[in-house]
Structure 1
């Protein structure tokens, strides 16, 4: 695609990688910001007012009241953003980078055996998704409120 715009020389210099990082970083960063903003706005104002009434310093209010509640709400949304970002990495081939699905496509075309290449690419994506789901599940479990007996 870079050749279509006359940027074929820039694709070899690392420029494509910078553009891909900026594009994916901007998109996932904006989604992540919205997840955190929504989590912060869902914290009841009464909790903050009670902490101020007790005379707690601002840093302690953030560390003990805001952050734990915000994380409980934001981690599932951040999981969704991460999964969407993993899918969006396939779009970096547009700027001339050789990502996983593009490499599988080239390999499948050159050997005329697409099943093997696409199966390996699918297994790699599945492995990445599985490991990240384990991480997010543990994070959600650690942030879940436990019942007091």
Structure 2
């Protein structure tokens, strides 16, 4: 007599024989990698935006090659390249210099690979936001003798935030979803944990629907937080319809 299939609540239970704990662990890993990649991308994007706008000709050309290359190549190819090829190249170089190999953890490799992808897009988002700041405000700050650092902190950064937040918010959501690409390299994020649970129980619909719900919850919560940040950054500004 065939055994009865376990119910949905049994499959998604947080403790064995349920797989809910595995999914939650993978979900937490996905959030951590997404946050790390977004932070790395934001740092790269900030430097890249200022380099493209105010750097020398050589720096601008290098940044143009970086942003064009990253945006042209599929993210999965870049992840595989950075995840496997770059550590191998580093270890070969260290071996040539007489040093031992370096073991790069999956977490670090995942954050760096996705962060480099994020950085190319963040560069263009922040560059466009800086260009959207009225030039008269920047010239007024310079006329008061502000240093470039003070000018950025007191004028450019507050004025560019309302223009940058929508694009950065989209990049954050993309970063959380791109963590699924790390499943192909064996990192235990949500997608890989879901595949393993579904493969072991053959309950594909149940587990992939559960993963979809977790991603949806993350998006909804992120949208609430982003909306508050956008409202805070836009305080004191007239709506577009009223400013005309």
- TM-score band w.r.t. shorter chain: 0.7 to 0.9
Offset from partner CA, 1:92-123 (integer Å, 9 cap, x none): 01222122112112211211112221122111
1:1-149 matches, cutoff 5 A: 15-146=105-236
CA distance in 2, matches of 1:14, 1:51: 46
Residue 37 of structure 1 deviates from its aligned partner by 1.6
What TM-score results when the alignment is normalised by the length of structure 2? 0.51
SS at match of 2:187: coil
The answer to whether the 8 Å contact 1:104/1:118 transfers is yes
CA distance in 2, matches of 1:145, 1:16: 41
The answer to whether the 8 Å contact 2:186/2:192 transfers is no
Residue 59 of structure 1 deviates from its aligned partner by 4.2
Kindly tell me the number of residue pairs found equivalent between the two proteins. Answer: 138
CA distance in 1, matches of 2:207, 2:119: 31
The answer to whether the 8 Å contact 1:19/1:95 transfers is no
Show structure 1 runs of 5+ residues with no match.
Answer: 6-12
Residue 91 of structure 1 deviates from its aligned partner by 0.2
CA distance in 1, matches of 2:105, 2:148: 43
CA distance in 1, matches of 2:199, 2:167: 38
CA distance in 1, matches of 2:164, 2:132: 10
SS at match of 2:229: helix
CA distance in 2, matches of 1:105, 1:17: 19
Offset from partner CA, 1:53-91 (integer Å, 9 cap, x none): 234454443233211111111111100111111111000
The answer to whether the 8 Å contact 1:92/1:99 transfers is yes
The answer to whether the 8 Å contact 2:191/2:211 transfers is yes
CA distance in 2, matches of 1:31, 1:49: 28
Show structure 2 runs of 5+ residues with no match.
Answer: 1-79, 85-102, 239-244
